[in-house]
Amino acid sequence: MLKVLILPGDGIGQEITTQALKVIDCLNADFNLGMMLEHGLVGGNAYDETGSPLPQATLDAARQCDSILLGAVGGYQWEFLERDLRPERGLLELRAEMDLFSNLRPAILYPQLVNVSTLKEEVVSGLDLMIVRELVAGIYFGKPRGVEIRDGQKYGFNTAAYYELEIRRIGRSAFKIAQLRNKRVCSIDKANVLEVCELWREVMTDVAKDYPNVELTHMYVDNAAMQLVKAPKQFDVMVTSNLFGDVLSDCAAMLTGSIGMLPSASLNQDGFGMYEPIHGSAPDIAGKDIANPLAAILSVAMMLRYSLNQASLACKIEAAVNTVLNKGYRTQDIAIESDLVVGTNKMGDLVVEALV
């Protein structure tokens, strides 16, 4: 029996996870998946109920399950809490506690959405790139950090830091993935300015020696942002640090039509994973039944493929998403005038219908 911990979180996290659960229920009922679900709290909801954005019970459950499915965390009402109590801190801690250092963010343009991308068809059609983001170190975790009074005024500071081993292991993840794809890794850094990136580049170059069939190139992050918009199909695998990966993956998401289309996997050394859409809790649209649940549903597909050894069921989910898009159904974020616009719930139902 596969045990999966469900952490819907806040805002649209709740609505989109409900749709992903419909898909899991269907796979359990009709395809004998045998997935047992446990539900837990994380983020703002967890803070409201327990006083912590990552309750001990959630962490204990995370340590005892085979995989985690997470919605999203955060919301306006928690923005003024002390930083360690904020929803985002709960998610960051969960990633760190489970050592989920390898964050895979595939940006794939479904052909049905080519006209929804903000870029021209010839620039984006056929886009299939993989962003490999380091997830448990770098400036999101570096110390010292804080805001204090210096020289009679407020002074804010964070630390961008990587150990060689932290760079080496994310490098290996990227090269291994590239070996299964088009055998090209582009490492993104800012080595012209930052010492930490100088080390990043040096270590990536060294890791590359173990993967002679994969081509390694380097690119500065400012240029990478431009190239993603100018000629995104030049990339196969992009490997980068925590902050740069966070920013570049939101950018890449828009090439596919919407941030509501991008799933992700966050893996540790043993292949244990947490799966979540790359978007946040979208408080601006929460509770309106308009959020796109496809990133959450496609995150279930990634879970089946990367952690649960069920690649054929993963393909079934992806095929079902394709079928629904082929029929012209769209949530608002990926709709153009001629499409059949449906809500979050209906989109979940349509994917389930296409599955069976």
Ligand X SMILES: NC(=O)C1=CN([C@@H]2O[C@H](COP(=O)(O)OP(=O)(O)OC[C@H]3O[C@@H](n4cnc5c(N)ncnc54)[C@H](O)[C@@H]3O)[C@@H](O)[C@H]2O)C=CC1
Ligand Y SMILES: CC(C)CC(=O)C(=O)O
| Interface residues toward Mg ion, by CB under 5 A | 246
CB of 11 to ligand X, least distance (A): 7
Concatenate the DSSP letters of all residues of 31-100 into one string. Answer: H---EEEEE---THHHHHHHS-SS-HHHHHHHHHSSEEEEEE---GGGTTS-GGGSHHHHHHHHHHHTT-
Active-site choice (47, 110, 140, 162):
140
Which region among 69-77, 94-102, 173-181, 303-311 touches ligand X (by CB under 6 A)? 69-77
- The vertex-259 CA angle with 258 and 263, nearest 5°, equals 120
Confirm whether 250 is a catalytic residue: yes
For 104-118, b/e burial (b = at least 16 CB within 10 A) is bbbbbbbebbbebbe
Which region among 107-115, 206-214, 229-237, 277-285 touches ligand X (by CB under 6 A)? 277-285
Confirm whether 155 is a catalytic residue: no
Confirm whether 30 is a catalytic residue: no
CB of 249 to Mg ion, least distance (A): 7
88 is in an annotated binding site: yes
Confirm whether 176 is a catalytic residue: no
| Cβ closest to ligand X, residue 142 vs residue 283 | 283
Both tokens of 38, joined, read 């446990």
Q: Establish if 75 lies at the interface with ligand X (CB under 6 A).
A: yes
Stretch (H or E) spanning 228: helix 221-230
* Residues 334, 257 contacting (CB under 8 angstroms): yes
Partner from Mg ion, ligand X, ligand Y, none binding residue 92, C-beta < 5-8 Å depending on class: ligand Y
Active-site choice (48, 99, 128, 250):
250
Q: Establish if 171 lies at the interface with ligand X (CB under 6 A).
A: no
Task: Please report, as a single letter, which amino acid is at residue 44.
Answer: G
Backbone angles phi, psi at 96, to 5 degrees: -70, -45
Stretch (H or E) spanning 104: strand 102-108
331 to 350: interface string for ligand X, x by CB under 6 A: --x-----------------
3-state SS of 236-279 is CEEEECHHHHHHHHHHHHHHCCCHHHCCCEEECCCCCEEECCCC
CA 93, distance to chain mean position in Å, is 16
| Cβ closest to ligand Y, residue 246 vs residue 333 | 246
| Chain contacts with ligand Y (rule: CB under 6 A) | 88, 91-92, 246, 278, 280
282 is in an annotated binding site: yes
233 is in an annotated binding site: no
Torsion sign, CA atoms 276, 279, 280, 282: negative
| Cβ closest to Mg ion, residue 55 vs residue 87 | 87
Confirm whether 140 is a catalytic residue: yes
CB atoms within 10 A of CB 309: 11
Partner from ligand Y, Mg ion, ligand X, none binding residue 284, C-beta < 5-8 Å depending on class: ligand X
221 to 260: interface string for ligand X, x by CB under 6 A: -------------------------------------xxx
CA 320, CA 26: separation in Å to the nearest integer? Answer: 12
133 is in an annotated binding site: yes
| Cβ closest to ligand Y, residue 88 vs residue 236 | 88
CB of 180 to ligand Y, least distance (A): 24
Interface residue with ligand X, options 23, 33, 53, 88 (CB under 6 A): 88
* Residues 273, 100 contacting (CB under 8 angstroms): yes
* Residues 298, 266 contacting (CB under 8 angstroms): no
222 is in an annotated binding site: yes
Listed in sequence order, the residues at least 6 apart from 221 whose beta carbon sits closer than 8 Å to its beta carbon are: 188, 189, 190, 240, 244, 248
> Residue ranges for the binding site?
75-88, 95, 105, 133, 222, 246, 250, 280-292
* Residues catalogued as catalytic: 140, 190, 222, 246, 250
In the complex, the residues that contact ligand X under the rule CB under 6 A are: 12, 16, 72-75, 88, 91, 258-260, 276, 279-285, 291-292, 295, 333
